[in-house]
Chains A and B, each alone.
Chain A
Amino acid sequence: GNSVTQMEGPVTLSEEAFLTINCTYTATGYPSLFWYVQYPGEGLQLLLKATKADDKGSNKGFEATYRKETTSFHLEKGSVQVSDSAVYFCALSDGAGSYQLTFGKGTKLSVIP
């Protein structure tokens, strides 16, 4: 079956530090890959996505590249802000028509001034 593995948290960074959250996946076929963000007390919001190999998703300074050869979709940001403090989820859909998402367990990021 499909699975998503994210780096364990929590992650604590100082403002303006570089962020990487690792995500690897196992899936059949050609999945689409997503990063969701959950701010405290809120639901999940789509942060970025990539639908085929070598695609780069980007939004709000965050980037992730779909690497089929390493089955990875690592999230990066060059300079984090306090407002980026949230839980980040990596997810995939296998595109097989079931329209279901498989989620990683989430990584909590705290950014301190």
Chain B
Amino acid sequence: NAGVTQTPKFQVLKTGQSMTLQCAQDMNHNSMYWYRQDPGMGLRLIYYSASEGTTDKGEVPNGYNVSRLNKREFSLRLESAAPSQTSVYFCASWRAGQATDTQYFGPGTRLTVL
């Protein structure tokens, strides 16, 4: 099993450009999550999808949209990138129904917005 995979690993954008970050998991997990990680801020939840067909806002959703394409894939879109969105983005998944289980993380996408 590959676990949680993310593409691309690195990306540089100019202000105003758009892009989509891709995430896929092969563990048959129901729930998927997008976080951003900034120095001194820990991880902050952007959006999550508790199950296929549903999405909900997290702590910092402004400037982002998500799509739960199917059970495996959960994408994050920046419609008009801003320098404040320079960050490391992590996708995670969780097998819902197991409250004592936990989230599994991808390797991250390092995004720079100039």
Spot the interface stretch: A40-48, A59-67, A70-78.
Answer: A40-48
**Is B50 in the interface zone, CB < 8 Å from A?**
yes
**Is B96 in the interface zone, CB < 8 Å from A?**
yes
Contacts of B31 on A, CB cut-off 8 Å? 99
Q: Is the CB of B43 within 8 A of A89?
A: yes
**Is B2 in the interface zone, CB < 8 Å from A?**
no
CB distance from A111 to the nearest CB of B (A): 21
Contact residues of A: prevailing secondary structure? loop
Q: A43-B108, A46-B102, A49-B100 are in contact. List 4 more A-B contacts (CB 8 A).
A: A36-B105, A95-B99, A100-B48, A103-B43
Chosen A-B contacts, 24 in total, with CB atoms closer than 8 Å, are: A32-B99, A32-B102, A43-B4, A43-B105, A43-B106, A44-B92, A45-B105, A46-B102, A46-B104, A49-B100, A49-B102, A51-B100, A89-B42, A89-B43, A93-B102, A95-B99, A97-B99, A100-B33, A100-B45, A100-B48, A101-B103, A103-B42, A103-B43, A105-B41
